[in-house]
């Protein structure tokens, strides 16, 4: 078994109004895993992923990224290793040109000249946006802006990619194009989503949260085939989607392993 790149132990977090968002969360993510973080609104999913690069800090418990504790003194290195792509690309795409947006992070790390150019070009090429480098972001479609937002994160060369509702507000072509990009990336991925078919398409493991706790963890096909587990955690497929199309994929784990219900 590989050494996990994300280790969360006994994580608790409450907001100032007293809302308990995380109630003793334990989680391990290993290199190369693609994990869907599922659950109803208010389950604590976004609060959890914001702990992974120090946007929020634990009130109890610990978070480690590739062995580095997520603490104020380690923010620079942790945030280089964990790239978060927010649901609204306009939260990350704000410079006059696409090039300047993608160059912003590496430039702040001190990259200049040919090294910076190479980093930006590689990040844009990875998402198919190299020909948009001189465009103004507000002239791009929503789907294109989302791809540029991903490239701003890729330019930092992270080891872990966190995506918050990546398929939200995309048309069918945009969903397909984004899925193709994400499948090509050789990164450990943690995807927060309500889009169960999209999670099934892209992830091999599902972690289910409800009321601040992890309630199930296992192969995604088995999680999404468990009607009782789905109902207990307010998970539903879109109207008209036939869950019988779920088929075991060769990398989904041994037969009979089953989801771990917690």
The CATH classification number of 6-261 equals 3.40.50.300
Tens-place pLDDT, residues 93-131: 999 999 999 999 999 989 999 999 999 999 999 999 999
Domain boundaries, the chain: 6-261
DSSP per position, 69-121: E-SGGGHHHHHHHEEEE-SSGGGT--SSSHHHHHHHHHHHTT--HHHHHHHHH
The predicted pLDDT at position 194 comes to: 95
Q: Look-up: residue for tokens 């947006």?
A: 101
The predicted pLDDT at position 250 comes to: 42
Cα 168-169-170 angle, rounded to 5 deg: 95
The predicted pLDDT at position 239 comes to: 81
- What predicted TM-score, i.e. pTM, was given to this entire model? 0.89
Backbone φ/ψ region at 224: left (φ over 0), alpha (ψ -120 to 50), beta: alpha
Low-confidence ranges of the chain (pLDDT < 50): 248-257
The predicted pLDDT at position 1 comes to: 64
């Amino acid at each position: 078994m590989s050494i996990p790149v994300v280790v969360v132990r006994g994580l608790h977090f409450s907001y100032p109004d007293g809302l308990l968002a995380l109630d003793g969360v334990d989680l391990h993510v290993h290199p190369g895993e693609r994990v869907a973080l599922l659950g109803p609104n208010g389950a604590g999913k976004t609060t959890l992923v914001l702990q992974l690069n120090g946007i929020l800090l634990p009130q109890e418990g610990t978070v480690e990224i590739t062995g580095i504790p997520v603490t104020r003194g380690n923010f620079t290195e942790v945030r280089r290793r964990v790239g978060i792509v927010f649901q609204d690309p306009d939260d990350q795409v704000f410079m006059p040109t696409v090039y300047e947006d993608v160059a912003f992070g590496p430039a702040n790390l001190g990259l200049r000249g040919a090294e910076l150019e190479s980093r930006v070009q590689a990040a844009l090429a990875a998402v198919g946006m190299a020909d948009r480098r001189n465009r103004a972001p507000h002239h791009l479609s929503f789907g294109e802006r989302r791809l540029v937002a991903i490239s701003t994160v890729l330019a930092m060369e992270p080891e872990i990619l966190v995506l918050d509702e990546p398929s939200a507000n995309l048309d069918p072509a945009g969903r397909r194009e984004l899925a193709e990009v994400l499948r090509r990336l050789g990164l450990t991925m943690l995807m927060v989503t309500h889009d169960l078919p999209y999670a099934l398409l892209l992830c091999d493991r599902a972690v289910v949260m409800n009321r601040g706790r992890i309630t199930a963890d296992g192969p995604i096909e088995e999680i999404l085939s468990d009607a009782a587990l789905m109902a207990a955690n307010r998970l539903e497929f879109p109207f008209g989607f036939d869950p019988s199309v779920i088929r075991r994929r060769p990398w989904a784990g041994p037969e009979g392993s089953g989801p771990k219900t917690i």
